[in-house]
Amino acid sequence: MSRIRNIKELADLAGVSTGTVSRALAGSTLISQKTRERIQALAKEHGFRPNLLARNLRIQRTNTIGVLIPLGHETAQHLTDPFFITMLGLLADKLTERGYDLLLSRVIPTDSAWLDRIATSGRVDGLIVIGQSDQAATIDAVAKDYRPLVVWGGYDADQVHCSVGSDNRKGGDLAASHLIAQGCRKIAFFGDPKTREIEQRLQGVRDALARAGMGEPHIEPAHLTDDEFGPEIAGFLGQAADEPIGIVAASDVIALKTLRAMAVMGLSAPNDVRVMGYDGLTIGEHTVPQLSTICQDLVRGAEHLVDMLVRRIAGEDTQSVVMEPELVLRASA
Amino acid sequence: MSRIRNIKELADLAGVSTGTVSRALAGSTLISQKTRERIQALAKEHGFRPNLLARNLRIQRTNTIGVLIPLGHETAQHLTDPFFITMLGLLADKLTERGYDLLLSRVIPTDSAWLDRIATSGRVDGLIVIGQSDQAATIDAVAKDYRPLVVWGGYDADQVHCSVGSDNRKGGDLAASHLIAQGCRKIAFFGDPKTREIEQRLQGVRDALARAGMGEPHIEPAHLTDDEFGPEIAGFLGQAADEPIGIVAASDVIALKTLRAMAVMGLSAPNDVRVMGYDGLTIGEHTVPQLSTICQDLVRGAEHLVDMLVRRIAGEDTQSVVMEPELVLRASA
DNA sequence: TTGAAAGCGATACCAT
DNA sequence: ATGGTATCGCTTTCAA
């Protein structure tokens, strides 16, 4: 009793046609209950299950969503980044609830084809991109004629793709305003403005500074690799040690690295320097000191992404969502 | 210039056969350079890329690895669990390096078919299961005739599947021994021994207690849902408040919840109660107090998993790996 | 209720 | 160097 490899072998064994087997396994009531149960029993006995690849090819549908994390701006960044990982987990939960599997790709865009490649591969019913990175143009180009695509990230009035994210500019403003209200006279922004979200957060910081009649923020691109980070901070703190300093980090992860680098230098927040994060990850609740931050509602964000994607797959159109950021004051600023 | 949907349309357009197109697109030198470049240009111009589903079906290979997280023991547990997420990120990085995509499934086993279903689906070249949960038997059954399968989890001499994990019994012993050495006279274990790893850790705790001439540990199944957790701890602490207490948590996540529940009761580690975690996640470095824990080298574990899986796909056989756990003393115990 | 056969979109063998 | 064609394993229309 060798292993049954395909529907044809099972059909021969049962003395019926492949069509009958296919229908019986699908539970179609077109088939007499007797035949149906006999074939199902036979399949079970031989541990046979139809090949999904073939099925998907035939029905032109995979019940799989591609989740892409473009790392154009920061090749060294890994999937272990708590933000990605949190979002990924939330998406996985939501997608599973809806019966979708999840095809995960961490892509380092070398050409502009990375997105189209998977969109046209036939392997997914739709795509979720986490973060525009520096690939907004590529994403727009694909979104133009690939409908089932949603993106977590910053919103821009000109964009053609459908996005979900928080109002980054407002968030940046919130963060900087708080620092200024706390008496900081010198504001730094740690983050790489090449990606859209970060650029918008920086813009918000500028808004707040302008309103307060203060000049440009000091900008550190904040490479996420640890080794380059200490010197950057040290350099900045050294040249501005005479005024009360506030740092707006472009993400909680950057804020944590900042806190750690400061600790090495014998500095702590909020006494020596005030530090604001951005994201509202739970990890910030556990730090010493606990991280003050701008919270994005990732749970609701993930829900939106999945919900809108499903509707797009069904042919509906959907509008981008911009959520309210929230100032969360813990201890670091 | 409508969109080219398949190789046949491109072939017609180019006035050649599908075989030629297929070979040209694959860069085969069987095709004259002239034709090859002409067809590649044509494909590019029309944004055509071959359907991978069809390709995979034909060549019987997908370049995709399934990563499964069985949640048999704890349905409420989500992918957002820091341990899973950390492991998942590491695996994603390693698999990407090797050119594999990653098909993620969070499964709640309702029958014993969950694993076989994906193994026989034709959609993956191999499988990585993160944690045996309470499904060791099912995993063994599948591993019996499905070779490209590796599992993160506990090792048992009788198992047929290939696993990677730390020596959980030794780890549990390490944790409890440390608590005892610190003077704890009453030891509790927080975790659900239904899953193999946890059961082994508990066994290690028993070993240590036995050596010290102490009795059975107090066991709390430690449901991971927050609301049930406080009362469990309170109940335990209440009934044993007269002796120095030590808690071995079955994971860092459980330890963190314990710490938080204690804080609510006005208790703190290590003064009131000593708390040991298990896993060595980075999140434990950020807690107040920092978490003492048993560290498993997840980076090396992920490397082993991927490496062994690749070799199994290639037809080699591989042996289970048991890694040394390491006592990491921070502040909570 | 069931069977025959076309087709999903590719690859690869066998010719020429 | 290129074309014709069988094949991967399934679903579904059309006939009977």
Tokens of A186: 């010198």
Hey, is the C-beta of A303 within 8 angstroms of any chain B C-beta? Answer: no
Hey, is the C-beta of B272 within 8 angstroms of any chain A C-beta? Answer: no
* Calpha distance B87→B304 (Å, rounded): 12
* Calpha distance A59→B215 (Å, rounded): 62
Hey, is the C-beta of A329 within 8 angstroms of any chain B C-beta? Answer: no
Residue A126 backbone phi and psi in degrees, to 5: -170, 170
Is A122's CB within 8 Å of B88's CB? no
A132 CB-side CA count, 13 A: 30
> Model confidence over A222-269: pLDDT tens digits?
765 555 677 777 777 777 667 899 999 999 989 988 888 888 788 889
Cβ-based contacts with strand D at under 7 Å:
A 5-8, 18-19, 22-23, 25-26, 49-51, 53-55, 57-59; B 15-20, 23, 29-32, 34-36, 54, 57-58, 60, 122
Lowest pLDDT segment from A78-82, B72-76, B94-98: B72-76
Q: Which of A97-101, A167-171, A255-259, B289-293 has the highest mean pLDDT?
A: A167-171
Res B79: pLDDT? 61
Chain A contact probe: residue of B40, B53, B106 with most A CBs at under 10 A: B53
Cis peptide upstream of residue A289 (ω within 30 degrees of 0): yes
Which pTM value belongs to this model? 0.90
Name the closest residue (CA) to the C1' of nucleotide D2: B20
Mean of per-residue pLDDT scores for chain B? 91
Hey, is the C-beta of B144 within 8 angstroms of any chain A C-beta? Answer: no
Mention every residue, 6+ apart, whose C-beta is less than 8 A from residue A44.
none
Of B230 and B15, the structure prediction assigns the larger pLDDT to B15
CB within 8 Å of chain A, chain B residues 205-234: none
Res A247: pLDDT? 95
Q: Is the per-residue pLDDT at B322 higher than 70?
A: yes
> Model confidence over B107-133: pLDDT tens digits?
888 888 999 999 999 999 999 999 998
* Calpha distance A321→B8 (Å, rounded): 41
- Give one word for A103, left, alpha or beta, with left for phi > 0 and alpha for psi -120 to 50: beta
Q: How confident is the model at residue B73 (pLDDT cuts 50, 70, 90)?
A: low
> Model confidence over A160-203: pLDDT tens digits?
999 999 999 999 999 999 999 999 999 999 998 999 999 999 99
Cis peptide upstream of residue B270 (ω within 30 degrees of 0): yes
* Calpha distance A44→B117 (Å, rounded): 12
Res B320: pLDDT? 98
Hey, is the C-beta of A286 within 8 angstroms of any chain B C-beta? Answer: yes
Q: Which nucleotide is nearest to B4 (CA to C1')?
A: C9
Supply angle C-alpha B4, B6, B8, rounded to 5: 105
* Calpha distance A199→A209 (Å, rounded): 15
Is A105's CB within 8 Å of B123's CB? no
Note the strand D nucleotides within 7 A of protein beta carbons.
1-13
Q: Which residue of B has its CA nearest to A97?
A: B106
Q: How many C-beta atoms lie closer than 10 Å to residue B233's C-beta?
A: 23
Supply angle C-alpha B66, B250, B292, rounded to 5: 110
Mention every residue, 6+ apart, whose C-beta is less than 8 A from residue A217.
A176, A187, A188, A189, A202, A205, A206, A209, A248
* Calpha distance B47→B50 (Å, rounded): 10
Give A-chain residues touching B114 at CB under 8 angstroms.
none
For chain B, the straight-line distance linking the first and the last C-alpha, in angstroms and rounded, comes to 70
* Calpha distance A283→B289 (Å, rounded): 14
Chain A contact probe: residue of B51, B102, B104 with most A CBs at under 10 A: B104
Contact assessment for residue A22 and residue A43, using Cβ atoms and an 8 Å cutoff: no
